[in-house]
Amino acid sequence: MEEVRAGSWNELQEELYRESWHESLGRHRLEFAFRGMPDANEPLVTTLMRLGGAYHRVEGPLLRAFRKYAPRSAVPGDSVWNWLAVAAHHGLPTRLLDWTYSPLIALHFATDNQEEFGMDGVVWCVNYHKLKAHLPDALQELLREEGADVFTTELLGRGAANLPALDRLAPDPFPLFLEPPSLDDRIVNQFALFALMSSPKVRLDEWLLARPGLTRRIIIPAELKWEVRDKLDQANITERVLFPGLDGLSRWLRRYYTPKQG
């Protein structure tokens, strides 16, 4: 897996927007999903995995209970994929991992906690266009028919009715990217999408490591984090925007006005 260490803000921007030029379109169009993390050594572990033990056995009961007790108005339609997206969005342990189409929003999540400024951060970049070649034929065909690179919940529902059906589509595990419905301003403002594995027991980073050419990791040195954070704040990439409402406003102000230590 390719890994590069950015030595400056300018180098960081060059790496984040690398491979964005499309000659045929005459436009800059990134084909990457991004995930920012404050600790470069942290694995891509789902909230479901973090439960520990036989976590995969409680995935079904967790989602079933969420659907049972949540108000019907919480989800547009009754698609299991909509329910899964809503559940993850509100903190239920799932096999989904949060990603974004925006490299700057990924940078925000790599630098939003000043208590972790003493360690290197990372932005994961996964080419979702190339990732399609690793999908089962039936799912590839759905994307070709739609002229799409990633799934909506409606489109994925045409290929797999539920999680067990997704697991059975291929003998070997595979990942895909899923766009949630625009449930609220938070999803819209974060330019959000999810990654999920067809098996809840397989880690995405381990799967990617075995398949060169799909992924690169951009390391944000600890000594660069303050500059990145200050420039993101100046660009209005903040909790106030990404978490609309009083909670996000308070989180932004608390961080923004905390004195720099050392």
User: Span 24-53, mean pLDDT?
Assistant: 96
Q: How many domains does the chain have?
A: 1
Q: For residue 23, what pLDDT band results from cuts at 50, 70 and 90?
A: confident
Residue 21 pLDDT exceeds 80: yes
Mean pLDDT, rounded, for 76-88: 89
Is residue 56 assigned to a domain? Answer: yes
pLDDT of the residue at 261: 73
Residues 178-186, mean pLDDT to the nearest whole number: 89
Would residue 259 count as lying in a domain?
no
Is 172 inside a domain boundary? yes
- Cβ pair 34, 102 in contact under 8 A: yes
Q: Is residue 10 part of a domain?
A: yes
Query: Which pLDDT band holds residue 262 (cuts at 50, 70, 90)?
Result: low
Q: What is the mean pLDDT of the segment spanning 68-75?
A: 85
Residue 113 has pLDDT above 80, yes or no: yes
Q: Does a structural domain hold residue 261?
A: no
Cα dihedral across residues 72, 153, 175, 102: positive or negative = negative
Domain that holds residue 11: 2-20+31-229
Residue 257 in domain: no
Residue 251 domain-assigned (yes or no): no
The whole-angstrom separation of Cα 196 and Cα 175 is 6
Residue 184 lies in a domain: yes
Do 69 and 99 touch, CB atoms closer than 8 A? no
Average pLDDT, the chain: 95
* Entry pTM: 0.95
